[in-house]
Chains A and B, each alone.
Chain A
Amino acid sequence: MRVRCRPVAARLQASALRLGQKLWWYLRQMSGDAAYENYLRRAGARRSRTSALHTATGNDLPHRSGSCDGPPLLSAEQFYLDVLRRRYSGVSRCC
């Protein structure tokens, strides 16, 4: 009986852990806590897409000159202030 209970308990524990991780992820996304990480990840992905495009077309001149990299990455503080500026420039809270 104990042998059968263990996998059930382990599965429950794993499910609870997954649920906790999901909730934590949701909370961080919802609150904006993960916004800077998302920004860095997306900027990185965009740069690697552009880089891959240049490699595929054999045109690496713009890449070398840095013009395809887009604007320089913002620091965490700059990004936070930028988020606030954009959020509070329009109607962000309702009645």
Chain B
Amino acid sequence: MKRLGKVVVWAGISLLGAGALAAIALERGEPVNSTWLIVAAVCFYLLGYRFYSAFIAAKVLALDNTRATPAERHEDGRDFVPTNKWVLMGHHFASIAGPGPLIGPTLAAQFGYLPGMLWLVVGAVLGGCVQDFVILFFSIRRDGKSLGQIAREEVNTRAGLIALVAILSILVILLAAVALVVVNALRSSPWGSFTMLATVPIAGLMGLYLRHWRPGRVLEATAVGLLLTGLAVVAGEWVAGSPRLSALFTLEAIPLAAAIMLYGYAASVLPVWVLLAPRDYLSTFIKIGVMFALAGGILLVRPEVEMPALTQFIDGTGPVFAGTIFPFCFITIACGAVSGFHALISSGTTPKMISREGHARQIGYGSMLLESFVGVMALVAACSLQPGVYFAINSPASIIGSTPEQAAAVISSWGYPLQPQTMQELAAAVGEQTLLHRTGGAPSLAVGMAHIFSSVIGQGRLLGFWYHFAIMFEALFILTVLDTGTRVGRFMLQEFFGHFWKPFGRKNWWPSVYLTSFLMVGAWGYFLYQGVVDPYGGINSLWPLFGIANQLLAATALVVATTVLLKMGRKRWLWITLLPTVWLVAVTMTASYEKIFSPEPRVGFLAEANRLAAAVATGAIPAEQVAVTERVIFNYRLDAAVTAVLAGLVLLLMLEAVREWYAVLRGNKQPVLHEAPYLRTRLVEGD
């Protein structure tokens, strides 16, 4: 009877999910209510978790709860600590959920809501969650080793080196891309710039509190920090209203980019307790709070999805970024569907704290489902805007023109009616000078979130507060990714240079600290500058590059996972990791090829470089802009080279792995697994 009840419940969930999917996929002409998107996603997640992850756990990985995990084997109360699975899931989710699942779906909304929605849900259930889960499990079985170490041991040393270079490259591109999002969000916005700047002394105060006054009392310090940050958002309106202060905090793109680089450098060289850690506490609390608030807001407001299911921009002519739906939708949405970066977290601290192998399913697979849901909410927030407003915010001036009248005319000609005064009124309502061509995704997401929040609290009157609250939330945790990423990159460079000269490898040797921090900031800062001066707004070139790098890292992780599965004798179940690998390799290789060689200048780096070079040669570029244009030409060629190197690295890794697979399958090589030996757990049930 109980079994029959379960069958009925799961059959009901399946039917509900199928019905909701049909509603959003087949609806044409009329706006769809966002509830359908949420219901479809949740039903799909529930089915994926209940059946697919259970199948992987039982049949493919054969999780063994009698086996002691690294947290138990090496328990030291510091790195290795058996941790409650709900607490660890919270830690893991807070670590994997960054700006990617918010920005990517917002940008991909230019194709319509349907492609992004389907990729977020299907990609997560069949790809992203599987990657996070299996890498977490393999790391648990190897005493918490990192992805690079697993690649070195299970494939070969070259594969380990390739993984290391891929990780460093993705860090540089990632940091530049997210920094550009912040620059575009805060550019010419005294309210936003003041709020962000205020978080630096607030973090300093929290740092002193946590270090000297009440060591480790995170909740107390964070409560103080949250209160002061809230006051800073409120005070920002007053700053924006004061002519003198407003002029002081109105920063253009290049000074803002310089300020962000300076911040990244300071956060990398200063002790972590001063700036980095307190800001991280602040941003984590705000991040998780806002994600819950957004979910609640969407459920309460149930906004209509104004964007059509598919737009004409699936043909590659999109104003937000150029490129056809395949492969660019799947590159633009990386985090939220499949993110290679997660493999670093899954083989980082989480495997050292998990108390039972069985928990890997909930923590690895379950956390990624939550992140995917965050992506769906961002998609809903972006698609609930009038499409005309969405395109006006996210399109560069080179496409829609620089005045509201020009923008309205161009966007209306695409079939998305927009009045010039709509954008002016919206900008005034949120306390901004303009919202036109604020590329990068963050401002349009903030407008969408502000509409939802102000419908719940403020009845539309607090639009300006909620907009700047959302901008503060996005910028705050993007900058946290920036400072932690710069620091990790610094450590990787120090380790690398330490091979050549020992003192350089010492993490606290100041010349090494200053120089490697400078190199790291210089690397992502260069790409950031390139994005800032890019005539197409920067996001058009940087975000796809970031997507390619991230998905290539995912392909790397899945190739390593497939190798381990093969060595475990799971030939029958290889498709579990092989299918997403093949998909990701097809997507990233196609995208890499198009970004390098496409004859369309807005897509292909070389085509655009050649077009500009020809314009310089024929004298079509004014003399005073020749130097800048030549720099832009160099940047596009550099982007093409970086894309080629990333794609080449992954092809090389694939080749190494395929050789290994062939040798194992032919019986030429004895499959050797580098797992820690079995030790029976002494933890009792419930530990």
Contact = CB atoms under 8 A, between A and B. Distances in A.
B78 interface: yes
B480 A39 contact: no
B77 A94 contact: no
Nearest to A81: B273
Interface stretch (B336-344, B534-542, B625-633): B336-344
A95 B481 contact: yes
A42 B79 CA distance: 13
B588 to A, nearest CB: 16
Contact of B273 (A27, A29, A84): A84
Nearest to A39: B77
Contacts, number: 120
Interface stretch (B92-100, B296-304, B426-434, B459-467): B92-100
B550 A95 contact: yes
Interface string A61-95: 00000000000000111011111111111111111
Interface stretch (B44-52, B276-284, B518-526): B276-284
Contact of A92 (B95, B216, B218): B95
Given A42-B81, A76-B216, A95 B100 contact: yes
A27 to B, nearest CB: 7
Contacts of B84: 29
Which secondary structure dominates where chain A touches chain B? Answer: helix
B444 interface: no
B410 interface: no
B339 A94 contact: yes
Interface in B335-355: 335, 339, 341-342, 344-345, 348-349
B90 interface: yes
Contacts of A33: 216-219
A32 B488 contact: no
Interface in A1-56: 26-33, 35-36, 38-39, 42-43, 46
Nearest to B87: A29
Nearest to B281: A31
B484 interface: yes
Interface string B479-492: 01100110110010
Interface of A: 26-33, 35-36, 38-39, 42-43, 46, 75-77, 79-95
B216 A38 contact: no
Given A31-B222, A36-B216, A88-B487, A94 B78 contact: no
20 contacts: A26-B86, A27-B219, A28-B219, A30-B90, A31-B222, A32-B216, A39-B78, A42-B81, A80-B216, A81-B211, A83-B78, A84-B272, A86-B78, A88-B276, A91-B341, A91-B345, A92-B349, A93-B95, A93-B481, A94-B341
A79 B211 CA distance: 10
A23 B481 CA distance: 28
Given A30-B91, A92-B348, A94-B341, A82 B273 contact: no
B648 interface: no
B481 A88 contact: no
B345 A94 contact: yes
Chain A to chain B: the 10 pairs with minimum beta-carbon distance, closest first: A76-B215, A80-B216, A77-B215, A91-B344, A95-B100, A29-B87, A42-B77, A30-B90, A93-B484, A33-B219
Output the residue of A33, A38, A43, A88 with the most chain B CB within 10 A.
A88
B210 interface: yes
Output the residue of A29, A75, A84 with the most chain B CB within 10 A.
A84
B211 A77 contact: yes
A86 B353 CA distance: 14
A86 to B, nearest CB: 6
Contacts of A38: 77, 81
B393 interface: no
A94 B216 contact: no
A4 to B, nearest CB: 31
A91 B77 CA distance: 20
Contacts of B96: 94
A87 B349 contact: yes
B442 interface: no
B341 A95 contact: yes
A73 to B, nearest CB: 10
Contacts of A87: 277, 349
A39 B81 CA distance: 9
A24 to B, nearest CB: 9
B477 to A, nearest CB: 8
Nearest to B178: A95
A92 to B, nearest CB: 6
B98 A93 contact: yes
Contacts of B487: 88
Interface string B536-565: 000000000010001000000000000000
Given A88-B488, A91-B484, 20 more contacts: A30-B94, A33-B217, A33-B219, A42-B77, A76-B215, A77-B211, A79-B215, A80-B273, A83-B78, A86-B78, A89-B507, A91-B348, A91-B488, A93-B98, A93-B485, A94-B95, A94-B339, A94-B342, A94-B481, A95-B174
Contacts of B216: 32-33, 35-36, 76-77, 79-80, 83
Output the residue of A80, A88, A93 with the most chain B CB within 10 A.
A93
A26 B87 contact: yes
B99 A95 contact: yes
A82 B273 CA distance: 10
A81 B90 CA distance: 22
A30 B480 contact: no
Given A31-B219, A31-B222, A33-B218, A94 B98 contact: yes
Contacts of B217: 33
A30 B87 contact: yes
A80 B480 contact: no
A78 B170 CA distance: 34
Nearest to B487: A88
Nearest to B285: A31
Contact of B277 (A79, A88, A89): A88
A86 B79 contact: yes
A47 to B, nearest CB: 11
B480 A93 contact: yes
Contacts of B272: 84-85, 88
A92 B346 CA distance: 10
A90 B489 CA distance: 9
Contact of A43 (B77, B100, B484, B491): B77
Nearest to B219: A33
Interface string B326-342: 00000000110001011
A93 B284 CA distance: 10
Contacts of A80: 210-211, 215-216, 273
A56 to B, nearest CB: 16
Contacts of A77: 211-212, 215-216
